[in-house]
Amino acid sequence: MKKIELKDLNRNLPELLEKRWALLTVADGEGCNPMTVSWGGVGRLWNLPVVTVYVRPQRYTKGLMDAGDYFSLTFLPEERHDAVAFCGAKSGRDTDKVKECGLTVLEDEKAPYFAEGELTFICRKVYEQDMAGECFVDAAVDAKNYPGKDYHRMYVGEIVAVLEK
């Protein structure tokens, strides 16, 4: 993985998120826990380059995100989609997903990430807020996505490094 400038990134991020999915990874004690996400965004906010991710309260990752100051978002190559699918089906509560997927953790940045990655954003948490039913302008989107009222928490992280292979 080589450090690049965000402005030099030439990838279709909405398509990558939709089709390839990504690993949202936070330190967990000595190790770390990757969780698959496909909802999120890369953009600008408060004059900062940012990544935004959304985590439901029942995820093990939620507690880690709340406790930590940094997170990473990693896109693995297509041939490792097995690992991304695994990290979206198993919980770090009872599974060592890094070990099961045979991923190699790199720790030379502020958040753990993976040597197998094709593209990684390292992010510093700057804002977090729970979504709320009363904020939906379109009630149908609320009803469809939150029948259990388990609203995502939104985390906005400043992109502090971009690494690409």
Ligand X SMILES: Cc1cc2nc3c(=O)[nH]c(=O)nc-3n(C[C@H](O)[C@H](O)[C@H](O)COP(=O)(O)O)c2cc1C
- Closest contact distance (angstroms) between CB of 149 and ligand X is 14
Beta bridge pairs of residue 23: 36, 74
Q: Is 54 in the site for ligand X (CB under 6 A)?
A: yes
Among 91, 110, 154, 160, which residue interacts with ligand X (rule: CB under 6 A)? Answer: 91
User: Does the CA dihedral 124-13-61-30 come out positive or negative?
Assistant: negative
Position closest to ligand X via CB: 88
- Closest contact distance (angstroms) between CB of 84 and ligand X is 8
| CA angle, 68 then 69 then 70, to 5° | 95
- C-alpha closest to that of 160 among 3, 1, 2: 3
Residue with tokens 């939709």: 18
Per CB under 6 A, the segment of 44-52, 53-61, 124-132, 155-163 that binds ligand X is 53-61
Among 6, 9, 19, 38, which residue interacts with ligand X (rule: CB under 6 A)? Answer: 38
Among 88, 126, 136, 145, which residue interacts with ligand X (rule: CB under 6 A)? Answer: 88
- What would the two tokens of residue 78 be? 């297509």
Q: Is 33 in the site for ligand X (CB under 6 A)?
A: yes
Q: Is 72 in the site for ligand X (CB under 6 A)?
A: no
Alpha carbons 59 and 95: distance in angstroms, whole number: 13
Alpha carbons 72 and 25: distance in angstroms, whole number: 5
Q: Is 56 in the site for ligand X (CB under 6 A)?
A: yes
Chain residues in the site for ligand X (CB under 6 A): 21, 33, 35-39, 54-56, 59-61, 88-93
